[in-house]
A and B are shown apart, each in its own frame.
Chain A
Amino acid sequence: MGTVLALAVDLSLTEKMREISANKVRDKVCELCTQANTVLRKDVLAQLKVAHPKETNKRAKKILDAIIENAKIAKREKLAICQDTGLPVVFLEIGQDIKISGDLKSAVNKGVELGYKKGFLRNSIISHPLFRDKPGYSPVVIHTDIVRGNKLKITVLPCGFGCENKTQLKMFNPTARIDEVKRFVAEAVKLAGPDACPPYVVGVGIGGTADYACFLAKKALLRKVKSQKSKVKRLEAELVKEINKLNIGPMGLGGETTCLGVNIEIYPTHIAGLPVAVNISCHALRSAANTL
């Protein structure tokens, strides 16, 4: 009798779960890869267009023209915005009331492979970081988060490595002043200088642990540039101003347009520490998202 009852309870739980097939995830990831790599994000393009008329350096203006024209051609001809189509980072926000039928990780990797082949995107992933061999399309980096509800949000962020190589992490003392944190962020941009395709979008992660701060810096890049949703809007605005005084400019050849925006994500941390990570994106900040 007891067993029958337990079974009935289990069944009712299963009924509440929404089922999403791994194949559906694969197809969505495939679509998002092509979209992210060929259609520049609206918010990024908008900021480029805001910067263009304000730029007083003639050469900088000309380069901004080329960047905007490049985005136009890429979209029209379904060409990659940049030949470095990156190492795709896939963020999965998994509703706790979902059941995935099939192998989720394989589906994501398969989706990337299909999307990259279909979109004529570059195979830039080597399977062993030390014994480097012929590049392929996967495996990608996957970040999962469990959230409420019965939906699955998928975001694909292709990370080019010209700018990824400029990532910085610093474990500050808990007594550090905000000024010191700001200086560190600006210094990271200065170090990247002309090499990582400015104008940049700067992702900053503050708090958590060392690894989590790096994750937050990456996640920050997903948020709309200069969105009003930020918890530290003032700090972001101050940093944008400061960075744009560095006179790095487009291609590093001078100008007022060194960064299009600074996005900061914060998280609680330990009494003994203050981790700060900076993840810089080139002007081709690409991502695409969809919810199943």
Chain B
Amino acid sequence: MKRINTPLTKREIERLNVGEEVLLSGVIYTARDQVHKRLAEAIHKNKKTAIDLKGRIIYYCGPTPKPKGKIIGSCGPTTSLRMDEFTPVLLKKGILAMIGKGRRSKAIIQAIKKYKAIYFLTYAGCGALLSKYIQKATKVAYKNLGPEAIYKLEVRDFPLIVGIDTKGRSIYD
């Protein structure tokens, strides 16, 4: 199976096709509903975002608290559709890839094509299994949001399926 590493380049993701399975190693950042709302607000007000978004991979995930002796708790993907409202402005700010579960709106498919970004799926409802691919987890921003804080995750061979490729082809079509 194909292995990819961060930082991902545009050229690299352009070579990935819808439906293809890949293993990702490197750094990704969690962000879900409340963080998306806040990042979008900051961008609209021309303020600095809590993390630099350029070239980043965003993972739609709010993990369970870290049990003693573990790196992270359960950490599967949440429903991507809820982020659609905020995704175009994040893409404009340079995010390269998103990881989540389920469908995206037509507008997002178009935006992904326009910005030559990529949308990955990962095993839905398998948070315990996915925790095994995380090597380090640090809360880096919006810590007051609890599970919705931004976590910086270092992953190794994190399993992904290309859900929407840079050409705007969706696995659900």
Q: Which residues of A contact B (CB under 8 A)?
A: 63, 66-67, 69-71, 73-74, 77-85, 120-124, 132, 134-135, 162, 165, 193-197, 251-253, 282-284
Contact = CB atoms under 8 A, between A and B. Distances in A.
A74 B70 CA distance: 13
Of residues A70, A81, A121, A132, which shows the largest number of chain B Cβ atoms within 10 Å of its Cβ? A70
B125 A197 contact: yes
Interface string B47-74: 0000000000000011111110010011
Contacts of B161: 253
Nearest to A250: B124
Interface of B: 34, 61-67, 70, 73-76, 78-79, 81, 101-103, 121, 123-129, 131-132, 144-148, 161, 171-172
Nearest to B125: A197
12 contacts: A70-B123, A74-B74, A77-B128, A81-B128, A83-B61, A83-B127, A85-B64, A134-B146, A135-B147, A251-B121, A252-B103, A253-B161
B102 A194 contact: yes
B129 A120 contact: no
Q: Which 3 A-B pairs have the closest CB atoms?
A: A195-B102, A80-B74, A70-B126
Binding site secondary structure of chain A: loop
B125 A282 contact: yes
A122 B62 contact: yes
Contacts of A67: 123, 125-126
A252 B127 contact: no
B161 to A, nearest CB: 7
Contact of A135 (B148, B171, B172): B148
A45 B126 CA distance: 14
A251 B124 contact: yes
Contact of A66 (B70, B75, B79, B129): B129
A197 B147 contact: no
B128 A74 contact: yes
B120 to A, nearest CB: 12
Contact of A253 (B34, B63, B131, B171): B171
A84 B126 CA distance: 10
Contacts of B126: 66-67, 69-70, 82
Nearest to B129: A70
Contacts of A69: 126, 129
B125 A284 contact: yes
Contacts of B79: 162, 165, 195-196
Given A82-B127, A251-B123, A252-B172, 11 more contacts: A66-B123, A79-B70, A80-B128, A82-B126, A83-B78, A84-B76, A123-B65, A134-B144, A134-B146, A193-B172, A194-B101
Contacts of A165: 79
